[in-house]
Amino acid sequence: MDRKTRDRIVYWAVWLACFAPFVWLAAQAALGELGANPIERLIRQLGVWGLRLLIVGLAITPAARIFRQPRLIRFRRTIGLFAFAYVSAHLLTYVGVDQYFDLAAVWRDILKRPFITLGMLGFVLLIPLAVTSTNGMIRRLGPQAWRRLHWLIYAIVPLGVVHYYLLVKADHRPPLVYGAIVLALLGWRVVERLRSLRPS
Amino acid sequence: MLIRNGRGLTENDVTPHEIYLRRREFMAAGLAAGLGLAGGAAAAPLAFRPSKWSTDEKRTKLEDITGYNNFYEFGVDKDDPAKNAGRLKTSPWTIQIEGECAKPGRYTLEDILKTAPLEERIYRLRCVEGWSMVIPWIGFPLAALIGRVQPTSKAKFVSFETLMRPDQMIGQRSPYLDWPYREGLRIDEAVNPLTIMAVGLYGQTLPNQNGAPIRLVVPWKYGFKSIKSVVKIRLQETQPKTTWQMLNAREYGFYSNVNPAVDHPRWSQANERRIGEFRRRETLLFNGYGDQVASMYRGMDLRKFY
């Protein structure tokens, strides 16, 4: 198998892995297998998958460096856009299905409930990253400005974790696990940065 | 016309008088055996009479009532209790009744079931998380049980405790709540005719995930007040500490009456999703039981005493 074919296969495997939770949720919804409160389950699952993919996206750069696999970087955009798709579906299900487009109620929620305020902020910050994900936009912005803009992800992912933490009633261990992973991924960057600054 | 009666029947065929006199005990024992069986997943049918306090709203499906539960003793996800509660052994079962009463003691479930005849109470249940169900409980008024132990004039509050048994209740191995689960009512709330101790639903003994073998049901308060698998009832002079209030007093008050005007910090309480329905519906003050309960709170600031 030549390298190009192999790349293709790997790319589609990643794409399918990202898409699989959507298919799984859609199938469960169609079969009525989402339990007694399907809307709540759907919102929760879409949100959790959005957060997981955001974290996977954050892990790519460290993984590429640590395992000396620079070509891993090419998956970052796909994973990031899938994360955006899940987060958008999560939000849309809350606004459209759960609240039935009662935008006044949604606005009250945003103002009043910190977990919704922070989740919403995270989503709003994700929009410019999704919009500027095309090659054309990267060129137009210039790599330097594009990179700076995309540093926003370092705020967005923690916002997602805090959003999750705040909505949990009692058992905070799952969001704390996500938080620890995010902390490690951000911590690695800080260490790398300090190392590169140190005169050798 | 000659009436032939009792073909060949003798005095020996008649139920002996001493056994006849104990007939109620046998019935209670049979009922208790049924409740015990519930621990092994098999539900047993119960005898009950209807109640004027029942709603005629459409009842929530049995599989939703038994498959979507908040019972943190068995895990925090809604389907955890159905998965994990089967291990709980509910027989033998006793309730320790103590504190400000003339007849404290350890009462067996068999004995407690003799307190009053069972009734079906079809009640709305509103969870603080914004969903609701309509559940046909089988139970008897808590007032009857409290009356039996003769509370003293110092009995101003009633506190309740759930069983603590981490080897069978796997959620209790993690300290996310301060086990055992505790709840409480003011004495007038406890003896309100709507307040029941439930031992069954849909005509059968309670499944473990719904609080077998015996639980409290207070239909005008958020669901977490209706404590499950009760092993201790205490009459006392001071307001008891309750589990969710201890965890987060700003979010969960002692009263926790259903009230669309008083928001929970994380959820609007203005409306709710009835399980099985698509659109949210308006939440009613006192969960629609205002006629029976509002007078108990006259003059109280319900925002302050949430």
For position B53, which CATH number holds?
3.90.420.10
Answer whether residue B261 is part of any domain: yes
Alpha carbon distances (Å) from B188 to A20, A187, B155, B156, B184: 55, 57, 10, 8, 12
Q: What are phi and psi of B126, to 5 degrees?
A: -115, 120
Answer whether residue B5 is part of any domain: no
Residue B23's pLDDT band (boundaries 50, 70, 90)?
low
Answer whether residue B302 is part of any domain: no
- Among the listed residues A77, A87, A101, the one whose alpha carbon sits nearest the alpha carbon of residue A160: A87
Shortest CA gap B275–chain A (Å): 6
Residue B267's pLDDT band (boundaries 50, 70, 90)?
confident
A35 and B68 within 8 Å at the Cβ level: the answer is yes
Determine whether B278 is exposed, middle or buried from the number of CB atoms within 10 Å of its CB (0-12, 13-18, 19+).
exposed
Residue of B nearest to A110 (CA): B266
B174 and A171 within 8 Å at the Cβ level: the answer is yes
Answer whether residue B6 is part of any domain: no
Shortest CA gap B263–chain A (Å): 10
Answer whether residue B167 is part of any domain: yes
pLDDT at residue B40, as a whole number: 47
Per-residue pLDDT tens over the stretch B202-240: 999 999 999 999 999 999 999 999 999 999 999 999 999
Total domain count, chain B: 1
Residue B37's pLDDT band (boundaries 50, 70, 90)?
very low
* Residue type at B56 in one-letter notation: D
Shortest CA gap B278–chain A (Å): 8
What residues pair up with B96 in beta bridges, in sequence order? B106, B232
Residue listed under structure tokens 């009532």: B65
- Residues of chain B in contact with residue A35, where contact means CB-CB under 8 angstroms, are 67-68, 78-79
Structural domain for B82, as ranges = 17-297
pLDDT at residue B36, as a whole number: 47
Per-residue pLDDT tens over the stretch B122-158: 999 999 999 999 999 999 999 999 999 999 999 999 9
- Nearest CB among B76, B267, B280 relative to A170 is that of B76
pLDDT at residue B35, as a whole number: 52
Per-residue pLDDT tens over the stretch B65-122: 999 999 999 999 999 999 999 999 999 999 999 999 999 999 999 999 999 999 999 9
Answer whether residue B154 is part of any domain: yes
Answer whether residue B78 is part of any domain: yes
pLDDT at residue A3, as a whole number: 86
- Nearest CB among B131, B174, B268 relative to A105 is that of B268
Per-residue pLDDT tens over the stretch B174-183: 999 999 999 9
Sequence length of chain B is: 306
Q: Where are the domains of chain A?
A: 3-197
SS (H, E, C) chain B: CCCCCCCCCCHHHCCCHHHHHCHHHHHHHHHHHHHHHHHHCCCCECCCECCCCCCCCCCCCHHHHHHCCCCHHHCCCCCHHHHHHHHCCCCCCEEEEEECECCCEEEEHHHHCCCCCCEEEEEEEECCCCEEEEEEEEEEEHHHHHHHCCECCCCCEEEEEECCCCCCCHHHHCCCCCCCCEEEEEHHHHCCCCCEEEEEECCEECCHHHCCCCEEECCCECHHHCCCCEEEEEEECCCCCCHHHHHCCCCCCCCCECCCCCCCCCCCCCEEEECCCCCCEECCHHHHCHHHHHHHHCCCCCCCCC
Which residue in A118, A162, A171, A177 has the most chain B C-beta atoms within 10 A of its own C-beta, making it the best mutation to test that interface?
Answer: A171
Answer whether residue B86 is part of any domain: yes
Interface size A-B, in CB pairs within 8 Å, comes to 51
- Residues of chain A in contact with residue B270, where contact means CB-CB under 8 angstroms, are 105
Helix, strand, or coil (residue A5) = helix
Residue B265's pLDDT band (boundaries 50, 70, 90)?
confident
| DSSP-assigned letters across all residues of A27-75 | HHHHTT-S-S-HHHHHHHHHHHHHHHHHHHHHHHHHHHHHTT-GGGGGG
Q: What are phi and psi of B133, to 5 degrees?
A: -140, 170
- Residues of chain B in contact with residue A109, where contact means CB-CB under 8 angstroms, are 268
Answer whether B87's CB lies under 8 Å from B168's CB: yes
SS (H, E, C) A137-165: HHHHHCHHHHHHHHCCHHHHHHHHHHHHH
- Nearest CB among B79, B174, B278 relative to A35 is that of B79
B78 and A35 within 8 Å at the Cβ level: the answer is yes
